[in-house]
Amino acid sequence: MFTIDKQLFATITEYLKSAIPVESCGYLAGSGFEITAFFPVANRLNSSTAFSFELVEQFEAVRTIRAKGLELIGVVHSHPSGTAYPSQEDCKHADFSLVQLIVVPDQVPISYGLFHLADSTIAELDLNVH
Ligand SMILES: [Zn+2]
């Protein structure tokens, strides 16, 4: 089971909410199964239904994560007008070495899901927000 502090989770969801109607995204980092840091990366597609990391910010985020001695754990992105479930595009473009957190940020309570994607399989993972 992955864990994340509720304060950090709130910071992430506020960030994703502030970008509505555009999808927003970033990296999750930490240690082992514990997510302790969030690094926003601009969505270069500026789309409400898809995202792709802006390359310079992506590079900077990875460099910062390494410099802080953290592990890159996952990618987070929002579905402003969808469900907290991976889209076909998400499955096609996902980095299979990372977990994928998908958030519908304007729902109350906030809807989210943590997944591991590989080829044609979608595995839902447990995320403990504590
Ligand atoms: Zn998506």
> What is the whole-number distance in angstroms between the Cα of residue 126 and the centre of ligand 1?
18
* Integer Cα distance of 72 and 2 in angstroms: 13
Neighbouring CB atoms inside 10 A of 49's CB total 14
Compute the average pLDDT of residues 26-33. Answer: 98
Please state the φ and ψ torsions of residue 102, each to the nearest 5 degrees. Answer: -120, 130
pLDDT digits (tens, 9 = 90+) for 34-74: 999 999 999 999 999 999 999 999 999 999 999 999 999 99
Dihedral (CA of 62, 64, 65, 67) sign = positive
* Integer Cα distance of 76 and 16 in angstroms: 9
> What is the whole-number distance in angstroms between the Cα of residue 83 and the centre of ligand 1?
9
> What is the whole-number distance in angstroms between the Cα of residue 87 and the centre of ligand 1?
5
> What is the whole-number distance in angstroms between the Cα of residue 26 and the centre of ligand 1?
12
> What is the whole-number distance in angstroms between the Cα of residue 123 and the centre of ligand 1?
15
- Mention every residue, 6+ apart, whose C-beta is less than 8 A from residue 86: 94, 100, 102, 115, 117, 122
pLDDT digits (tens, 9 = 90+) for 103-122: 999 998 999 999 999 988 99
pLDDT digits (tens, 9 = 90+) for 79-92: 998 899 999 999 99
> What is the whole-number distance in angstroms between the Cα of residue 38 and the centre of ligand 1?
18
CATH 3.40.50.300 fits 2-129, yes or no: no
For residue 3 the two structure tokens come to: 């864990």
CB 43 within 8 A of CB 24: yes
